[in-house]
Structure 1
Amino acid sequence: MESANACWADTLAVFDLETTGIDVDTCRIVTAHVGVIGIDGEALERREWLVDPGVEIPTAASLIHGVSTERARAEGAAAPTAVAEIIAALTGAAARGLPIVAYNAAYDLTVLAREAERYGLPGLPGPDAVIDPLVIDKAVDRYRRGKRTLSATAEHYGVRLDDAHDAGADAVAAGRVAQAIARAHPQLAAVAVGELHARQIDWCRDQAESYQSWRRRNGEPEFTTSGAWPVR
């Protein structure tokens, strides 16, 4: 029986991808991490993938995550196999009742969904218990100045991130940021994870609409952006 004080942030699955680019419809997975962190942010489980994406990795992407086309081809798993394993790992974590944390989840989960479609694989069921520290942080601290990158947000919440753009480091840091937000906002920690998931759908839509309006007012009258979450 769960403690009356238990909350969604106590034990979390953490997920991150590094890819070939930024377009969710065309980019491919290069590295991935699925792990579990405990109540103090300690890494309890971790699984990582290096993937041969089947396409050239642009130099700009390699400079970010450090994986070249040559290394991916020589050492990486076949993309269909890796994608199936990543989906299985996330499905298993969800089946254990663990929320899945991903920073800017709509990017990672959409890329994963597109990869599944590309290789004719079953996608990740749901998902219906996702925690996105980017969306939540924007909702609870809307007017804070500065960037909302993972590095900047981790620094704001006092979370150490030494190796940004390493899938494992980013995934664990995102989970720890989610836990820090829960500590800073006890009213959110008390919300059931399903309800928090539903709130994030609304928050992300509202945030996208606000950003779209701002861009249109500032010289881009035809700018559009998607507020769909957690998969576009």
Structure 2
Amino acid sequence: MNTPWHHLPMAAFDVETTGLDVESDRIITAALWRIDPARGTKEVATWFADPGIEIPAEAAEIHGITTEQARAQGRPAADVVTEIAAALDAVTAEGLPVVVYNAPYDLTLLDRELALHRPGAPLAAQPLVVDPLVLDKRVDTFRRGSRKLVDVCAHYEVPLAREEAHGAAADALASARLAWRIAAANPEIAQMSAVDLHAAQVKWKAEQAASFQEYLRRRNPEAVVDGSWPLVPAAT
């Protein structure tokens, strides 16, 4: 019997940013873990960028990084984004799945920053992505309450203290543990290969978006929910 994907080496990725608009906001910090569940080993690479734009107070309140701190301690955004892309390309080349909670946010924002700083040179290949948000909605569709990372971790008893949440390294590691916990409890997910799971999530995300859109249109007939996954294609 093949070893389940969640017992094999994986990566986990997260970014903290200047805001929620993937088309115009910028990366401030990022973390990429390499994790081997079988050996119990893990290592992390982290980055701190000066995004080149103001960090709104609302964003600073979430992750604790001000414009002044980023300018004083952060490295040039172009250098940071290039290094992040190289690190993701490396784990992708090794065939490691990359756990990213709410992947369309992190990966789309990275994609747009790459387009800004190195036009015509996106990620070398799309990584195999595991998105615990999509998985959670698949296995527990009708659960009420918040689906924010810290709250979903609490539901599955995955350690992530609220004071640690919104740090890229802590969030990425918690996301990996969350993906492991969901897979361990759900044979449908555990028994897929990483390749098949990636393809299944494309379908599940589209279904989840369509369901949410139907719900919203009861009040607003014009509501549109984008079901793109794991990143939103750039406008042409």
**Is the shorter-chain TM-score for this pair beyond 0.5, marking a shared fold?**
yes
Give, in angstroms, the shift of residue 103 of structure 1.
Answer: 0.1
Provide the rounded CA distance (Å) in 2 between the counterparts of 1:188 and 1:120.
Answer: 36
1:188 match? 189
2:228 match? 228
2:129 match? 130
Question: Which residues of structure 1 form unaligned runs of 5+?
Answer: none
Q: Are the counterparts in 1 of residues 98 and 127 from structure 2 also a CA contact under 8 Å?
A: no
Aligned ranges 1:127-206 → 2 under 5 Å: 127-162=126-161, 163-206=164-207
Give, in angstroms, the shift of residue 126 of structure 1.
Answer: 3.4
Give the one of 6, 12, 16 matched to 1:9: 6
- In the superposition, the TM-score normalised over structure 2's length comes to 0.93
Give, in angstroms, the shift of residue 43 of structure 1.
Answer: 5.5
Q: What letter corresponds to residue 114 of structure 1 in structure 2?
A: R
What secondary structure, in the 3-state scheme, does the structure 2 residue paired with 1:9 have? helix
Give, in angstroms, the shift of residue 6 of structure 1.
Answer: 1.5
Find runs of 4+ consecutive structure 1 residues off by over 6 angstroms.
Answer: none
- In the superposition, the TM-score normalised over structure 1's length comes to 0.94
Q: Are the counterparts in 2 of residues 161 and 170 from structure 1 also a CA contact under 8 Å?
A: yes
- Choose 55-64 or 121-130, whichever is displaced more: 121-130
Give the one of 39, 52, 55 matched to 1:54: 52
What secondary structure, in the 3-state scheme, does the structure 2 residue paired with 1:17 have? strand
Percent of aligned positions with the same letter in both sequences? 46
Question: Which residues of structure 2 form unaligned runs of 5+?
Answer: none
Distance of aligned partners of 1:41 and 1:69 in 2 relative to their CA distance in 1, 3 Å threshold: farther
What secondary structure, in the 3-state scheme, does the structure 2 residue paired with 1:173 have? helix
- Choose 57-66 or 89-98, whichever is displaced more: 89-98
Q: Are the counterparts in 1 of residues 17 and 29 from structure 2 also a CA contact under 8 Å?
A: yes
- Choose 150-159 or 101-110, whichever is displaced more: 150-159
Q: What letter corresponds to residue 223 of structure 1 in structure 2?
A: A
Matched, 1:209 2:206: no
